[in-house]
Amino acid sequence: MCGIVGLFLKDKSLEPQLGEMLTAMLITMTDRGPDSAGIAIYGAQTDGRSKMTVQAADPDTAFAGLDKALSDVIGATVGISVKSTHAVLDIPAGSTAQVRAALKDINPDIRLMSRGDNLEIYKEVGLPKDVAAQFDLAKMSGTHGIGHTRMATESAVTTMGAHPFNTGDDQCLVHNGSLSNHNSLRRKLRREGIHIETENDTEVGAAYLTWQMQNGATLGEALESSLDDLDGFFTFVVGTKDGFGVVRDPIACKPAVMAETDQYVAFGSEYRALVDLPGIEEARVWEPEPATVYFWSHNAAPSTTEKAA
Amino acid sequence: MQTIDLSEVGLRALNKTLHAQTNHTNQTNWEIVNPKGAHAIACGLDAPIEVTVKGSTGYYCAGMNQQATVNIHGSAGPGTGENIMSGKIIIEGDASQYLGATGHGGLIVVKGNASSRCGISMKGVNIVVKGSVGHMSAFMGQSGNLVVCGDAGDALGDSCYEARFFVRGTVKSLGADCEKKEMRPEHITLLQELLDEAGIDADPSEFTRYGSARNLYNFDVDNAGAY
Protein backbone atom coordinates (compact mmCIF):
# COMPACT_ATOMS: atom_id res chain seq x y z
CA MET A 1 0.00 0.00 0.00
CA CYS A 2 1.16 3.53 -0.77
CA GLY A 3 -0.43 6.93 -1.01
CA ILE A 4 -0.31 9.31 -3.96
CA VAL A 5 -1.36 12.93 -4.15
CA GLY A 6 -1.16 15.36 -7.03
CA LEU A 7 -2.25 18.91 -7.63
CA PHE A 8 -2.34 20.79 -10.91
CA LEU A 9 -3.28 24.44 -10.55
CA LYS A 10 -5.35 26.26 -13.15
CA ASP A 11 -5.74 29.36 -10.99
CA LYS A 12 -2.43 31.22 -10.82
CA SER A 13 -3.41 32.94 -7.59
CA LEU A 14 -3.10 29.57 -5.81
CA GLU A 15 0.52 29.04 -6.90
CA PRO A 16 2.07 30.49 -3.72
CA GLN A 17 0.01 27.94 -1.73
CA LEU A 18 0.88 24.87 -3.81
CA GLY A 19 3.39 23.54 -1.27
CA GLU A 20 1.02 24.10 1.63
CA MET A 21 -1.92 22.36 -0.08
CA LEU A 22 0.17 19.47 -1.32
CA THR A 23 1.83 18.99 2.10
CA ALA A 24 -1.56 18.75 3.82
CA MET A 25 -2.69 16.18 1.25
CA LEU A 26 0.55 14.23 1.71
CA ILE A 27 0.25 14.11 5.50
CA THR A 28 -3.36 12.85 5.24
CA MET A 29 -1.98 9.88 3.29
CA THR A 30 0.37 8.90 6.14
CA ASP A 31 -1.64 5.76 7.02
CA ARG A 32 -1.12 4.50 3.48
CA GLY A 33 2.64 5.03 3.59
CA PRO A 34 4.41 5.86 6.83
CA ASP A 35 7.95 4.73 5.97
CA SER A 36 9.09 7.37 3.49
CA ALA A 37 7.73 10.32 1.61
CA GLY A 38 8.63 12.48 -1.32
CA ILE A 39 7.42 15.36 -3.37
CA ALA A 40 8.10 16.65 -6.87
CA ILE A 41 7.34 20.29 -7.33
CA TYR A 42 7.34 22.34 -10.52
CA GLY A 43 8.37 25.87 -9.69
CA ALA A 44 9.72 28.92 -11.47
CA GLN A 45 12.13 28.64 -14.37
CA THR A 46 15.02 31.00 -15.10
CA ASP A 47 15.88 31.58 -18.76
CA GLY A 48 19.11 29.93 -19.76
CA ARG A 49 19.36 27.96 -16.52
CA SER A 50 18.46 24.45 -15.42
CA LYS A 51 18.16 22.75 -12.07
CA MET A 52 19.49 19.56 -10.55
CA THR A 53 18.36 18.35 -7.16
CA VAL A 54 21.03 16.26 -5.44
CA GLN A 55 21.13 14.41 -2.14
CA ALA A 56 23.91 13.44 0.22
CA ALA A 57 23.97 11.46 3.47
CA ASP A 58 26.42 13.97 4.97
CA PRO A 59 25.30 17.26 3.42
CA ASP A 60 27.61 19.46 5.53
CA THR A 61 30.74 18.05 3.96
CA ALA A 62 29.33 16.94 0.62
CA PHE A 63 27.81 20.30 -0.30
CA ALA A 64 30.56 22.54 1.11
CA GLY A 65 32.31 24.14 -1.86
CA LEU A 66 30.43 21.95 -4.33
CA ASP A 67 29.23 24.97 -6.36
CA LYS A 68 32.80 26.22 -6.79
CA ALA A 69 34.15 22.76 -7.66
CA LEU A 70 31.45 22.32 -10.32
CA SER A 71 31.97 25.84 -11.71
CA ASP A 72 35.65 25.08 -12.15
CA VAL A 73 34.97 21.87 -14.07
CA ILE A 74 32.27 23.15 -16.41
CA GLY A 75 33.64 26.68 -16.72
CA ALA A 76 30.41 28.48 -15.89
CA THR A 77 28.62 29.75 -12.80
CA VAL A 78 26.89 27.12 -10.68
CA GLY A 79 24.61 28.15 -7.83
CA ILE A 80 23.65 25.99 -4.87
CA SER A 81 20.81 26.17 -2.41
CA VAL A 82 20.98 23.61 0.37
CA LYS A 83 17.86 22.25 2.06
CA SER A 84 18.70 19.67 4.70
CA THR A 85 20.05 16.55 2.93
CA HIS A 86 19.15 17.94 -0.50
CA ALA A 87 20.60 20.75 -2.57
CA VAL A 88 19.29 22.39 -5.71
CA LEU A 89 22.05 23.20 -8.18
CA ASP A 90 21.44 26.13 -10.49
CA ILE A 91 23.34 25.25 -13.67
CA PRO A 92 23.55 26.59 -17.25
CA ALA A 93 20.86 25.13 -19.52
CA GLY A 94 22.16 22.20 -21.53
CA SER A 95 24.95 21.34 -19.09
CA THR A 96 23.11 18.52 -17.27
CA ALA A 97 25.25 15.69 -18.68
CA GLN A 98 28.45 17.61 -17.98
CA VAL A 99 27.44 18.39 -14.40
CA ARG A 100 26.37 14.80 -13.84
CA ALA A 101 29.78 13.51 -14.98
CA ALA A 102 31.56 16.14 -12.87
CA LEU A 103 29.54 15.17 -9.78
CA LYS A 104 30.63 11.57 -10.19
CA ASP A 105 34.29 12.65 -10.19
CA ILE A 106 33.97 15.13 -7.34
CA ASN A 107 31.95 12.94 -4.98
CA PRO A 108 30.42 9.65 -6.17
CA ASP A 109 28.28 9.51 -3.00
CA ILE A 110 26.20 12.49 -4.11
CA ARG A 111 22.96 11.20 -5.58
CA LEU A 112 20.91 12.77 -8.32
CA MET A 113 17.25 13.23 -7.38
CA SER A 114 16.02 15.21 -10.37
CA ARG A 115 16.99 17.27 -13.36
CA GLY A 116 15.08 19.78 -15.45
CA ASP A 117 14.19 23.44 -15.82
CA ASN A 118 11.37 23.56 -13.25
CA LEU A 119 11.39 20.27 -11.37
CA GLU A 120 12.75 19.76 -7.86
CA ILE A 121 12.38 16.43 -6.02
CA TYR A 122 12.72 16.00 -2.27
CA LYS A 123 12.40 12.57 -0.70
CA GLU A 124 13.58 10.86 2.46
CA VAL A 125 12.84 8.03 4.84
CA GLY A 126 10.50 8.99 7.69
CA LEU A 127 6.94 9.98 8.45
CA PRO A 128 5.47 12.27 5.78
CA LYS A 129 5.03 15.11 8.30
CA ASP A 130 8.69 14.89 9.29
CA VAL A 131 9.90 14.75 5.69
CA ALA A 132 7.69 17.73 4.82
CA ALA A 133 9.09 19.69 7.77
CA GLN A 134 12.66 18.69 6.94
CA PHE A 135 12.41 20.37 3.54
CA ASP A 136 9.92 23.08 4.48
CA LEU A 137 7.70 21.83 1.66
CA ALA A 138 4.72 23.90 2.80
CA LYS A 139 6.56 27.09 1.89
CA MET A 140 7.17 26.09 -1.73
CA SER A 141 5.26 27.61 -4.59
CA GLY A 142 4.72 26.23 -8.05
CA THR A 143 2.34 25.41 -10.86
CA HIS A 144 1.87 21.72 -10.09
CA GLY A 145 3.33 18.94 -8.01
CA ILE A 146 2.97 15.31 -7.01
CA GLY A 147 3.71 13.53 -3.77
CA HIS A 148 4.01 10.00 -2.48
CA THR A 149 3.87 8.25 0.88
CA ARG A 150 5.49 4.84 0.81
CA MET A 151 4.74 1.53 2.49
CA ALA A 152 7.46 -0.64 0.96
CA THR A 153 6.61 -4.10 -0.33
CA GLU A 154 9.17 -4.86 -3.01
CA SER A 155 12.47 -3.47 -1.75
CA ALA A 156 14.34 -1.76 1.06
CA VAL A 157 13.21 1.39 2.84
CA THR A 158 15.89 3.83 1.67
CA THR A 159 16.07 7.33 0.25
CA MET A 160 16.64 5.93 -3.22
CA GLY A 161 13.69 3.58 -2.82
CA ALA A 162 11.37 6.48 -2.03
CA HIS A 163 9.28 8.12 -4.73
CA PRO A 164 9.06 10.24 -6.94
CA PHE A 165 11.52 8.83 -9.46
CA ASN A 166 13.01 11.11 -12.07
CA THR A 167 12.47 9.63 -15.54
CA GLY A 168 13.88 12.36 -17.74
CA ASP A 169 14.27 16.14 -17.89
CA ASP A 170 11.39 17.61 -15.88
CA GLN A 171 9.67 14.23 -15.70
CA CYS A 172 8.94 12.06 -12.72
CA LEU A 173 6.86 9.10 -11.65
CA VAL A 174 5.13 7.94 -8.49
CA HIS A 175 3.56 4.53 -8.11
CA ASN A 176 1.06 2.75 -5.91
CA GLY A 177 1.14 -0.99 -6.42
CA SER A 178 3.73 -3.63 -7.15
CA LEU A 179 5.28 -4.77 -10.40
CA SER A 180 5.88 -8.49 -10.70
CA ASN A 181 8.10 -8.60 -13.81
CA HIS A 182 10.57 -5.97 -12.61
CA ASN A 183 13.52 -8.34 -12.35
CA SER A 184 13.41 -9.50 -15.96
CA LEU A 185 12.62 -6.02 -17.17
CA ARG A 186 15.54 -4.59 -15.17
CA ARG A 187 17.93 -7.05 -16.84
CA LYS A 188 16.55 -6.14 -20.24
CA LEU A 189 16.79 -2.40 -19.65
CA ARG A 190 20.31 -2.66 -18.25
CA ARG A 191 21.33 -4.50 -21.42
CA GLU A 192 19.87 -1.56 -23.32
CA GLY A 193 22.22 0.69 -21.35
CA ILE A 194 19.66 2.23 -19.00
CA HIS A 195 21.07 3.08 -15.58
CA ILE A 196 19.04 1.45 -12.77
CA GLU A 197 20.37 1.97 -9.30
CA THR A 198 18.24 -0.08 -6.90
CA GLU A 199 16.26 -3.32 -6.67
CA ASN A 200 13.09 -1.26 -6.48
CA ASP A 201 10.20 -2.18 -8.80
CA THR A 202 9.07 1.39 -9.38
CA GLU A 203 12.53 2.47 -10.46
CA VAL A 204 12.22 -0.15 -13.21
CA GLY A 205 8.85 1.35 -14.18
CA ALA A 206 10.49 4.78 -14.34
CA ALA A 207 13.45 3.41 -16.31
CA TYR A 208 11.04 1.71 -18.70
CA LEU A 209 9.36 5.05 -19.47
CA THR A 210 12.77 6.72 -19.89
CA TRP A 211 13.84 4.00 -22.30
CA GLN A 212 10.65 4.24 -24.35
CA MET A 213 11.02 7.99 -24.63
CA GLN A 214 14.71 7.74 -25.56
CA ASN A 215 13.51 5.57 -28.43
CA GLY A 216 11.19 8.26 -29.68
CA ALA A 217 7.95 7.54 -27.83
CA THR A 218 6.00 10.44 -26.37
CA LEU A 219 5.20 10.19 -22.67
CA GLY A 220 1.63 9.29 -23.62
CA GLU A 221 2.83 6.50 -25.92
CA ALA A 222 5.23 5.26 -23.26
CA LEU A 223 2.38 5.08 -20.75
CA GLU A 224 0.14 3.30 -23.26
CA SER A 225 2.82 0.67 -23.90
CA SER A 226 3.44 0.28 -20.15
CA LEU A 227 -0.05 -1.24 -19.99
CA ASP A 228 1.23 -4.10 -22.18
CA ASP A 229 4.78 -4.47 -20.89
CA LEU A 230 4.44 -4.02 -17.13
CA ASP A 231 2.97 -6.93 -15.24
CA GLY A 232 1.47 -6.23 -11.84
CA PHE A 233 -0.62 -3.64 -10.11
CA PHE A 234 -0.13 0.02 -10.63
CA THR A 235 -1.64 3.41 -10.39
CA PHE A 236 0.96 5.76 -11.85
CA VAL A 237 0.99 9.51 -11.64
CA VAL A 238 3.60 11.15 -13.85
CA GLY A 239 4.74 14.74 -13.60
CA THR A 240 5.81 16.66 -16.69
CA LYS A 241 7.03 20.20 -17.24
CA ASP A 242 3.53 21.33 -18.17
CA GLY A 243 1.27 19.12 -16.11
CA PHE A 244 0.59 15.61 -14.93
CA GLY A 245 -0.79 12.34 -16.20
CA VAL A 246 -2.54 9.38 -14.58
CA VAL A 247 -2.76 5.75 -15.66
CA ARG A 248 -4.09 2.67 -13.84
CA ASP A 249 -3.53 -0.96 -14.80
CA PRO A 250 -6.51 -2.79 -16.37
CA ILE A 251 -7.47 -4.52 -13.10
CA ALA A 252 -7.34 -1.21 -11.22
CA CYS A 253 -7.35 -2.46 -7.64
CA LYS A 254 -5.17 0.38 -6.48
CA PRO A 255 -7.46 3.22 -5.55
CA ALA A 256 -7.56 6.59 -7.28
CA VAL A 257 -9.86 9.56 -6.92
CA MET A 258 -9.74 12.77 -8.90
CA ALA A 259 -11.38 16.14 -8.39
CA GLU A 260 -11.62 19.05 -10.78
CA THR A 261 -12.80 22.63 -10.30
CA ASP A 262 -12.13 25.85 -12.19
CA GLN A 263 -9.11 26.32 -9.94
CA TYR A 264 -7.36 22.95 -10.00
CA VAL A 265 -7.21 19.26 -10.87
CA ALA A 266 -6.34 17.10 -7.88
CA PHE A 267 -5.43 13.45 -7.48
CA GLY A 268 -5.61 11.40 -4.30
CA SER A 269 -5.35 7.71 -3.49
CA GLU A 270 -8.37 8.38 -1.33
CA TYR A 271 -10.99 11.09 -1.15
CA ARG A 272 -9.70 11.91 2.34
CA ALA A 273 -6.64 13.52 0.76
CA LEU A 274 -8.83 16.00 -1.12
CA VAL A 275 -11.29 17.08 1.57
CA ASP A 276 -9.54 20.30 2.58
CA LEU A 277 -9.07 21.67 -0.93
CA PRO A 278 -10.98 24.87 -1.65
CA GLY A 279 -14.42 24.30 -3.19
CA ILE A 280 -14.17 20.49 -2.95
CA GLU A 281 -17.90 20.24 -2.14
CA GLU A 282 -18.73 21.55 -5.60
CA ALA A 283 -15.86 19.81 -7.44
CA ARG A 284 -16.43 17.15 -10.05
CA VAL A 285 -15.15 14.03 -8.28
CA TRP A 286 -14.58 10.77 -10.15
CA GLU A 287 -12.41 7.66 -10.37
CA PRO A 288 -10.08 7.45 -13.38
CA GLU A 289 -11.00 4.51 -15.63
CA PRO A 290 -8.70 1.48 -15.80
CA ALA A 291 -6.19 1.21 -18.68
CA THR A 292 -6.84 4.79 -19.72
CA VAL A 293 -4.20 7.51 -19.91
CA TYR A 294 -5.27 10.93 -18.67
CA PHE A 295 -3.32 14.18 -19.02
CA TRP A 296 -3.70 17.72 -17.81
CA SER A 297 -1.39 20.29 -19.28
CA HIS A 298 -0.86 24.02 -18.96
CA ASN A 299 -0.27 23.94 -22.71
CA ALA A 300 -3.78 22.87 -23.58
CA ALA A 301 -7.15 24.54 -23.13
CA PRO A 302 -8.39 24.66 -19.52
CA SER A 303 -10.30 21.72 -18.07
CA THR A 304 -8.91 19.37 -20.67
CA THR A 305 -9.16 15.65 -20.16
CA GLU A 306 -7.44 14.88 -23.43
CA LYS A 307 -6.05 11.42 -23.84
CA ALA A 308 -2.34 11.50 -24.39
CA ALA A 309 -1.18 11.25 -27.98
CA MET B 1 -32.61 13.32 15.71
CA GLN B 2 -29.13 12.91 17.18
CA THR B 3 -26.32 14.72 15.36
CA ILE B 4 -22.71 13.64 15.73
CA ASP B 5 -19.78 15.65 14.41
CA LEU B 6 -17.21 13.05 13.41
CA SER B 7 -14.39 15.61 13.39
CA GLU B 8 -15.11 16.28 17.08
CA VAL B 9 -15.80 12.83 18.56
CA GLY B 10 -13.62 10.62 16.37
CA LEU B 11 -14.46 7.33 14.68
CA ARG B 12 -14.28 4.96 17.65
CA ALA B 13 -16.59 7.05 19.80
CA LEU B 14 -19.03 7.42 16.91
CA ASN B 15 -19.20 3.72 16.14
CA LYS B 16 -19.36 2.83 19.84
CA THR B 17 -22.38 5.10 20.24
CA LEU B 18 -24.11 3.55 17.24
CA HIS B 19 -23.25 0.02 18.40
CA ALA B 20 -24.85 0.75 21.78
CA GLN B 21 -28.26 1.13 20.12
CA THR B 22 -30.52 -1.87 20.58
CA ASN B 23 -33.76 -3.13 19.06
CA HIS B 24 -35.65 -1.06 21.61
CA THR B 25 -33.80 2.22 21.25
CA ASN B 26 -35.83 5.42 21.12
CA GLN B 27 -33.01 7.20 19.32
CA THR B 28 -33.72 5.90 15.86
CA ASN B 29 -32.45 8.82 13.79
CA TRP B 30 -28.78 9.74 13.57
CA GLU B 31 -26.97 12.29 11.49
CA ILE B 32 -23.21 12.26 11.04
CA VAL B 33 -21.57 15.47 9.88
CA ASN B 34 -17.99 16.10 8.68
CA PRO B 35 -17.29 12.54 7.51
CA LYS B 36 -14.47 13.82 5.25
CA GLY B 37 -13.89 10.47 3.60
CA ALA B 38 -13.05 8.69 6.88
CA HIS B 39 -12.88 4.88 6.90
CA ALA B 40 -15.33 2.45 8.54
CA ILE B 41 -18.07 4.96 9.34
CA ALA B 42 -21.17 3.22 10.78
CA CYS B 43 -19.61 -0.20 10.44
CA GLY B 44 -21.10 -3.22 12.19
CA LEU B 45 -24.47 -1.70 13.09
CA ASP B 46 -27.13 -4.07 14.42
CA ALA B 47 -30.26 -2.12 15.35
CA PRO B 48 -33.28 -0.77 13.46
CA ILE B 49 -31.91 2.77 13.29
CA GLU B 50 -31.48 5.21 10.41
CA VAL B 51 -28.08 6.85 10.02
CA THR B 52 -27.49 9.66 7.54
CA VAL B 53 -23.92 10.58 6.68
CA LYS B 54 -23.74 14.14 5.36
CA GLY B 55 -20.85 13.89 2.92
CA SER B 56 -18.54 11.40 1.25
CA THR B 57 -17.18 8.35 3.03
CA GLY B 58 -13.97 6.30 2.76
CA TYR B 59 -13.38 2.56 2.92
CA TYR B 60 -15.94 0.12 4.35
CA CYS B 61 -18.76 2.46 5.33
CA ALA B 62 -21.72 0.45 6.73
CA GLY B 63 -19.78 -2.79 6.43
CA MET B 64 -21.39 -5.86 8.06
CA ASN B 65 -24.63 -3.92 8.41
CA GLN B 66 -27.64 -5.58 10.06
CA GLN B 67 -31.10 -4.02 10.32
CA ALA B 68 -29.96 -0.41 10.05
CA THR B 69 -30.58 1.98 7.17
CA VAL B 70 -27.50 3.99 6.25
CA ASN B 71 -27.86 6.96 3.87
CA ILE B 72 -24.71 8.40 2.36
CA HIS B 73 -25.22 11.94 1.09
CA GLY B 74 -22.10 11.92 -1.02
CA SER B 75 -19.95 9.29 -2.69
CA ALA B 76 -18.77 6.11 -1.00
CA GLY B 77 -15.25 4.66 -0.90
CA PRO B 78 -14.04 1.11 -1.58
CA GLY B 79 -15.74 -1.82 0.13
CA THR B 80 -18.88 0.03 1.17
CA GLY B 81 -21.45 -2.36 2.65
CA GLU B 82 -18.97 -5.23 2.61
CA ASN B 83 -20.64 -8.35 4.01
CA ILE B 84 -23.96 -6.60 4.60
CA MET B 85 -26.38 -9.05 6.28
CA SER B 86 -29.61 -7.05 6.26
CA GLY B 87 -30.90 -3.49 6.29
CA LYS B 88 -30.39 -0.89 3.63
CA ILE B 89 -27.62 1.36 2.32
CA ILE B 90 -28.51 4.24 0.03
CA ILE B 91 -25.70 6.11 -1.69
CA GLU B 92 -26.66 9.41 -3.30
CA GLY B 93 -23.40 9.74 -5.26
CA ASP B 94 -21.06 7.16 -6.78
CA ALA B 95 -19.67 4.04 -5.14
CA SER B 96 -16.05 2.91 -5.42
CA GLN B 97 -14.83 -0.61 -6.06
CA TYR B 98 -16.16 -3.84 -4.49
CA LEU B 99 -19.43 -2.42 -3.27
CA GLY B 100 -21.36 -4.93 -1.14
CA ALA B 101 -18.67 -7.60 -1.50
CA THR B 102 -19.79 -10.96 -0.04
CA GLY B 103 -23.08 -9.38 1.09
CA HIS B 104 -25.53 -11.95 2.49
CA GLY B 105 -28.74 -9.91 2.53
CA GLY B 106 -30.29 -6.47 2.61
CA LEU B 107 -30.41 -3.85 -0.12
CA ILE B 108 -27.83 -1.41 -1.46
CA VAL B 109 -28.96 1.42 -3.72
CA VAL B 110 -26.54 3.61 -5.69
CA LYS B 111 -27.99 6.74 -7.29
CA GLY B 112 -24.82 7.38 -9.29
CA ASN B 113 -22.41 4.82 -10.76
CA ALA B 114 -20.64 1.93 -9.06
CA SER B 115 -17.03 1.13 -9.88
CA SER B 116 -15.31 -2.20 -10.57
CA ARG B 117 -16.13 -5.48 -8.80
CA CYS B 118 -19.57 -4.28 -7.68
CA GLY B 119 -21.20 -7.15 -5.77
CA ILE B 120 -18.16 -9.42 -5.96
CA SER B 121 -18.96 -12.79 -4.37
CA MET B 122 -22.46 -11.61 -3.49
CA LYS B 123 -24.30 -14.19 -1.38
CA GLY B 124 -27.85 -12.88 -1.15
CA VAL B 125 -27.60 -9.09 -1.12
CA ASN B 126 -29.65 -7.08 -3.61
CA ILE B 127 -27.83 -4.20 -5.28
CA VAL B 128 -29.61 -1.63 -7.46
CA VAL B 129 -27.45 0.85 -9.37
CA LYS B 130 -29.14 3.74 -11.15
CA GLY B 131 -26.04 4.39 -13.29
CA SER B 132 -23.42 1.97 -14.60
CA VAL B 133 -21.09 -0.58 -13.02
CA GLY B 134 -17.40 -1.25 -13.74
CA HIS B 135 -15.52 -4.35 -14.78
CA MET B 136 -15.70 -7.74 -13.01
CA SER B 137 -18.98 -6.91 -11.36
CA ALA B 138 -20.66 -9.79 -9.50
CA PHE B 139 -17.55 -11.95 -9.95
CA MET B 140 -18.36 -15.32 -8.32
CA GLY B 141 -21.83 -14.09 -7.40
CA GLN B 142 -23.61 -16.87 -5.53
CA SER B 143 -27.08 -15.51 -4.86
CA GLY B 144 -28.96 -12.24 -4.73
CA ASN B 145 -29.66 -9.75 -7.50
CA LEU B 146 -27.62 -7.04 -9.19
CA VAL B 147 -29.73 -4.49 -11.06
CA VAL B 148 -27.93 -2.05 -13.35
CA CYS B 149 -30.00 0.69 -14.97
CA GLY B 150 -27.02 1.86 -17.06
CA ASP B 151 -24.26 -0.25 -18.61
CA ALA B 152 -22.01 -2.99 -17.24
CA GLY B 153 -18.23 -3.14 -17.83
CA ASP B 154 -16.06 -6.07 -18.87
CA ALA B 155 -16.52 -9.62 -17.55
CA LEU B 156 -19.93 -9.27 -15.91
CA GLY B 157 -20.76 -12.24 -13.68
CA ASP B 158 -17.51 -14.10 -14.24
CA SER B 159 -17.64 -17.57 -12.64
CA CYS B 160 -21.02 -16.83 -11.13
CA TYR B 161 -23.31 -19.33 -9.45
CA GLU B 162 -26.96 -18.48 -8.84
CA ALA B 163 -26.87 -14.68 -8.54
CA ARG B 164 -29.10 -12.90 -11.10
CA PHE B 165 -28.09 -9.81 -13.07
CA PHE B 166 -30.46 -7.38 -14.75
CA VAL B 167 -28.90 -4.80 -17.05
CA ARG B 168 -30.86 -2.15 -18.94
CA GLY B 169 -27.97 -0.84 -21.08
CA THR B 170 -25.09 -2.60 -22.74
CA VAL B 171 -22.73 -5.19 -21.29
CA LYS B 172 -19.16 -4.66 -22.48
CA SER B 173 -18.43 -8.35 -22.12
CA LEU B 174 -19.71 -11.33 -20.18
CA GLY B 175 -17.38 -13.19 -17.85
CA ALA B 176 -16.63 -16.90 -18.03
CA ASP B 177 -19.78 -19.02 -17.69
CA CYS B 178 -22.15 -16.04 -17.63
CA GLU B 179 -24.87 -15.93 -20.27
CA LYS B 180 -27.90 -13.98 -21.39
CA LYS B 181 -31.18 -15.45 -20.15
CA GLU B 182 -34.84 -15.19 -20.88
CA MET B 183 -36.91 -12.62 -18.90
CA ARG B 184 -39.89 -14.61 -17.68
CA PRO B 185 -42.89 -13.05 -15.88
CA GLU B 186 -41.49 -13.98 -12.47
CA HIS B 187 -38.31 -12.01 -13.29
CA ILE B 188 -40.31 -8.96 -14.36
CA THR B 189 -42.18 -9.14 -11.03
CA LEU B 190 -38.98 -9.56 -9.03
CA LEU B 191 -37.27 -6.69 -10.87
CA GLN B 192 -40.27 -4.41 -10.40
CA GLU B 193 -40.17 -5.12 -6.65
CA LEU B 194 -36.46 -4.36 -6.47
CA LEU B 195 -36.83 -1.11 -8.43
CA ASP B 196 -39.79 -0.07 -6.26
CA GLU B 197 -37.88 -0.79 -3.07
CA ALA B 198 -34.93 1.18 -4.41
CA GLY B 199 -37.21 4.06 -5.39
CA ILE B 200 -36.01 4.03 -8.99
CA ASP B 201 -38.42 4.63 -11.83
CA ALA B 202 -37.50 2.27 -14.65
CA ASP B 203 -39.43 -0.13 -16.86
CA PRO B 204 -38.49 -3.76 -16.05
CA SER B 205 -39.25 -4.85 -19.62
CA GLU B 206 -36.26 -2.82 -20.85
CA PHE B 207 -33.81 -4.98 -18.89
CA THR B 208 -31.96 -8.12 -19.95
CA ARG B 209 -31.33 -10.92 -17.52
CA TYR B 210 -27.94 -12.65 -17.22
CA GLY B 211 -26.86 -15.54 -15.07
CA SER B 212 -24.79 -18.70 -14.82
CA ALA B 213 -24.56 -21.10 -17.76
CA ARG B 214 -23.73 -23.71 -15.07
CA ASN B 215 -20.89 -25.22 -17.06
CA LEU B 216 -18.18 -24.50 -14.51
CA TYR B 217 -19.89 -25.88 -11.40
CA ASN B 218 -17.84 -29.04 -11.51
CA PHE B 219 -14.39 -29.41 -12.95
CA ASP B 220 -14.39 -30.78 -16.45
CA VAL B 221 -11.09 -31.04 -18.25
CA ASP B 222 -12.75 -29.89 -21.47
CA ASN B 223 -13.45 -26.56 -19.77
CA ALA B 224 -9.88 -26.13 -18.47
CA GLY B 225 -9.29 -23.16 -20.76
CA ALA B 226 -12.31 -21.31 -19.38
CA TYR B 227 -11.25 -21.27 -15.73
Whether the pLDDT of residue A304 is over 60: the answer is: no
**Does A287 reach chain B within 8 Å, measured CB to CB?**
yes
Q: Is B58 close to A271, i.e. CB distance below 8 A?
A: yes
Q: Out of B75, B94, B116, name the one closest to residue A252 (CB).
A: B116
**Fold assignment, A45-117:** Alpha-Beta Plaits (3.30.70)
Cβ-count burial B157-174 (b if 16+ within 10 Å, e if not): bbbbbebbbbbbeebeeb
End-to-end CA gap in chain A: 30
Q: At residue B225, does pLDDT exceed 90? A: no
Of A2, A21, A103, A252, which residue is the catalytic one? A2
A74-133 pLDDT per residue, tens: 999 999 999 999 999 999 999 999 999 999 999 999 999 999 999 999 999 999 999 999
Q: Give the pLDDT confidence of B145-159 residue by residue, as tens digits.
A: 999 999 999 999 999
What is the C-alpha separation between A226 and A234, in angstroms, rounded? Answer: 10
- Are A270 and B77 a contacting pair at CB < 8 A? yes
> Residue B136: phi, psi to the nearest 5?
60, 30
pTM of the model as a whole: 0.92
pLDDT at B222: 79
Q: From the CB of residue B83, how many other CB atoms can be counted at a distance below 10 Å?
A: 18
Where in chain A are the domains? 2-43+122-297, 45-117
* Choices 3.20.20.10, 3.40.50.620, 3.60.20.10, 3.40.50.300: CATH for A2-43+122-297: 3.60.20.10
> Looking at beta carbons, which residues of chain B come within 8 Å of A271?
37, 56, 58, 75, 77
State whether residue A79 is helix, strand or coil.
strand
Q: Residue A307 has what pLDDT?
A: 38
Q: Tell if the CB–CB gap between A255 and B75 is shorter than 8 Å.
A: no
**Residues paired with B114 in a beta bridge:** B95
In sequence order, the β-bridge partners of residue A146 are: A6, A40
Going by DSSP bridges, is the β-strand pair A2-9/A264-268 parallel, antiparallel, or unpaired?
antiparallel
- Strand segments (E) across A106-248: 111-116, 119-125, 144-150, 165-168, 171-179, 232-239, 243-248
Select from B212, B222, B123 the least CA-distant residue to B176: B212
ipTM, two decimals, is 0.91
Number of H helices, E strands in chain B: 3, 11
Provide the 10 A C-beta neighbour count for residue A153: 10
CB B225 within 8 A of CB B177: no
Q: How many CB pairs (< 8 A) connect A and B? A: 40
Nearest CA in chain B to A291: B135
Which 3 state secondary structure label does DSSP give A166? strand
CA distance A144 to A15: 8
pLDDT band at A152; cut points 50, 70, 90: very high
Contacts (Cβ under 8 Å, ≥6 apart) of A183: none
Q: CB of A243 within 8 A of CB of A237?
A: no
DSSP B78: T
User: CA of A256 to nearest chain B CA: how many angstroms apart?
Assistant: 9
Output the average pLDDT for chain B. 96
For residue A2, what are the β-bridge partners? A150
| pLDDT tens per residue, range B133-142 | 999 999 999 9
